[in-house]
A and B are shown apart, each in its own frame.
Chain A
Amino acid sequence: MTGNMTVIKSFSIGIVAAFGALLGLSAGSIAPAVADETCQSPYMSPIVGQEEFMYVWTLGMDGVGDQSDKLVTIDVRPDSETFGQPINSFSVGGQHEAHHTGLSDDRRTLWAGTLDDSQLYLFDIATDPSKPRLRKTITDFVEATGGATGPHTVYALPGRVLITATSNNRDHGGRSALVEYTNEGDYITTHWIPTPEDMQGATGKEFADGYNYDIRALPRKNVMLTSSWTGWSNYMRDQNAVLNDPEAMKRFGHSMTVWNLHTRKPIKVLQVPGAPLEIRWALKKEHNFAFTHASLTSKLWLIYEDDAGEWQAKEVADIGEPGSPTFPGSIVITNDDNFLWAQGNADGISRLFDISDPHHPKAIYQKKIGSQINMGSSSWDGSRLYYTSSALSKWDRSDEEAEQFVRGYNWDSKELKQTFSVDFIAENLGRAHNMRFGAHSLYAG
């Protein structure tokens, strides 16, 4: 264990916040939500010091190693002899389109989902944080949920997780659902995303499309937000085929949905064209806004509560040069709400925005990380950033510039300086996608 690691036990704060929200307490009367290194659930403990291990959910790749999806553990302790190296790898066997992972509220379990055949692998990361162990595999997600497929985001709520699904078993299109499971991995219920035919009481029928991607909650306002992507038929397909298919290009989400966190009922559907993906709430208690990135239009969008208490969405910045799509794959907000990193999938550039005025973000710095990047994760204090290369097995570059990696950087407020790089092909691992952090001290005492 590294000596300078600090962990805030915010679980109790999260519980208080949750119950505050459930009881309808007014904003500001409860403790502010805190988020971890990538603005995850406020019901979790964040690692505010040095993260020790990085869990990389990695897609199996033809011709690489055992060609199977695997959870790779990278040592990110700066004083370790194995710093910046993979120290463990757990292969789940076969290619399932490994994509996102999420943590339970107690951070004891890492949930790893697959977009293709809808598996959920539950890894115990508490017993030995350096060596995750598979403790359960959920294989009946589709059957249990009533037809939702492609589990994506796993978002911690007290004692349970909310999972965004991305498609369905009727037509592999984009209509999908939110699903709840207990921390033990038992199915609870399914909430379908509103469609024009079934708004479930929400407003914004003209914008509803039923699509789904990410979920993030703001408990002190009793709201949660979902975004919208596309269905299996597009995300599993060769990207060049999608781009060449005008009919397929019409099947992307152009909406976000505001939900009542307590009742899980949709309130309002917002128009956000261009497949809005990751949602990042600001962290300060006086900040009632979130950002998302429209991946197709390469735009940064602000979701905010207006003076009348209504949730609104507006486009606030280009990610890259207008007209030259960067197809951003992820965003990260710093813990002071002043800066946002956006990762350009198409050009491999990580861009830093000053968002101190969230209505007018300004691009202030950029760094080429690789030929393609997708996910970016930041340490709590923002001094370390990590990047992965892969978007999806069929959307990654296949030309002579194709590469697969995890790269670490230090950020000194002026320059990103690389600290390590793991070549995931040379290491016989595969396509590196989603990252989560672990540390021994989360489980001490």
Chain B
Amino acid sequence: MVTYPRSASIVLAAILWTVICIWPPHFVAADGSTEDFDQRALARVATPPLGLPKVFIPGNNPLTAAKIALGRKLFFDRRLSHNRTMSCGMCHIPEQGFTNNEVATPIGVRGRSLRRNAPTSYNIAYLESMFHDARDTSLETQIFGPLLAREEMANPSIGFVFATIEAAPDYEDLFETAFDEPANAHNLGLALASYERTILSANSPFDQWKYGGDESAVSAQVKLGFSLFTGKAGCAACHLIGDESALFTDHALHNTGIGYNSDTVIRASEEPVQVEIAPGIVIPLARKTVTSVGLPRLRDLGRMEVTHDTSDLFLFKTPILRNVALSAPYMHDGSLRTLEEVVRFYDQGGHPNPGLDPLVQTLKLGDNGITALVAFLESLTGDNVAELEADGRSTEIGN
């Protein structure tokens, strides 16, 4: 029998305790308790934060801790792009509202310009369709678009992705543990969807007031904004609010004039581009000069590109508004930089065009009304943003 000195046992115990404390990654909750992220994610989905409805879990993809952990790892793995520079998390950045606050439209492999703003990943568990043009139908299948799109992650084939995963020693046994089988096109989508389904955020001041009955949770200005949102401004006609929960979307597509304006009016403009070359220093640059550097912006016909139905021209999906204060810039092309710009855009009745949705009308809210609406939108930020950021960063970035 081998015996060890007492001091060695103490050292070993100390090492074990340290390992237990730091692995798996923990989040220190407001009450000081710690739990590992995967278990907290499971709990979050089982009991969504106040204001969110029950999460639908597809029968073919029951949620497990192993799948969440694997999906998170895949989400932040830059190796899953053709030249190992892009991951889902490079456009859906946790600290930037799970979008990219620094650009109107994101950039893919080799700097290829995308046409549309990166939609936030917050609460995408509830989406009935994916992407601004609703071209995909589930979280489980949507990943293959970005993985293979030349402008996004640009993998030359789906087999190339699996060869990358197979060659990465840090993926050894992870798929087998989660799915009892090696990585394949089916379970890759299941794993990513499992993580993405856990990015739930609510229990905002609005929720605490509306669904929690706490009258002090929001200001009078927010309450005025709510009354406008659901009343005179008509926002709730598309951004639906239920009696027990709210997703702030009708899951439908609308023509607000943003697409028409970008694709038709601005494209034809010969006005100089106003460029801020340093803080507070704006200069006019001839449009011809601007367009002479780099490739021209591609047209964007919206939903019509999917259906080829001319009545779908410039239709884009209604976004969920939860955590909207964190996900600037706004609209499908990121052309509006602040919530106030968005509200003013709708206040003026959107942008006139032949297909303008009749729900978009001139509102004449006045400055007070606009300010109140902005305050209301800002009250929709959930109370677990820091936790979800830490959750995302609990996995190592794959390089």
Contact = CB atoms under 8 A, between A and B. Distances in A.
Interface of A: 94-97, 116-118, 140, 142-143, 147, 149, 169-173, 231-252, 254, 273-274, 294, 296-297, 323, 325, 346, 393-399, 401
B275 A249 contact: yes
B11 interface: no
Contact of B111 (A173, A244, A247, A393): A393
Interface in B69-88: 78, 83-85
26 contacts: A94-B83, A95-B110, A116-B83, A118-B85, A140-B399, A142-B399, A171-B93, A171-B95, A238-B113, A240-B290, A240-B291, A240-B292, A240-B294, A240-B296, A241-B297, A243-B285, A245-B104, A247-B103, A249-B275, A273-B279, A294-B278, A297-B277, A325-B283, A395-B294, A398-B295, A399-B291
A66 B101 CA distance: 37
Interface residues of B, number: 43
B284 to A, nearest CB: 9
B250 to A, nearest CB: 28
Contacts of A274: 277-278, 281
A117 B290 contact: no
Contacts of A249: 275-277
A94 B101 CA distance: 30
A399 B101 CA distance: 30
A246 B283 CA distance: 12
Contact of A394 (B102, B294, B399): B294
B174 interface: no
B119 interface: no
Q: Enumerate the 9 nearest inter-chain pairs by beta-carbon distance, A residue then B residue, closest first.
A: A236-B111, A238-B294, A273-B278, A239-B293, A296-B277, A399-B292, A142-B399, A239-B294, A274-B278
- Chain A CB count within 10 A is highest, among B101, B289, B292, B334, for B292
Interface string B259-291: 000000000000001011111010101000111
A117 B40 CA distance: 35
A249 B285 CA distance: 13
A236 B399 contact: no
B278 A297 contact: yes
B283 A116 contact: no
Given A237-B113, A240-B296, A273 B281 contact: yes
A397 B289 CA distance: 9
Contact of A296 (B95, B111, B278, B296): B278
B111 A398 contact: no
A59 to B, nearest CB: 11
Nearest to B276: A249
Nearest to A395: B293
B281 A297 contact: yes
B100 A254 contact: no
B276 A250 contact: yes
A241 B275 CA distance: 11
Contacts of B105: 241, 245
A137 B200 CA distance: 43
Contacts of B218: none
A394 B109 CA distance: 12
A76 B279 CA distance: 43
B102 A117 contact: no
Contact of A397 (B84, B111, B276, B293): B293
A244 B290 contact: yes
Nearest to B291: A240
B397 interface: yes
Given A233-B103, A246-B337, A297-B281, 7 more contacts: A170-B397, A233-B102, A237-B103, A246-B276, A252-B278, A273-B281, A274-B277
A135 to B, nearest CB: 23
Nearest to A142: B399
Contacts of B397: 147, 169-170
A318 to B, nearest CB: 13
Contact of B285 (A140, A172, A325, A394): A325
A240 B104 CA distance: 13
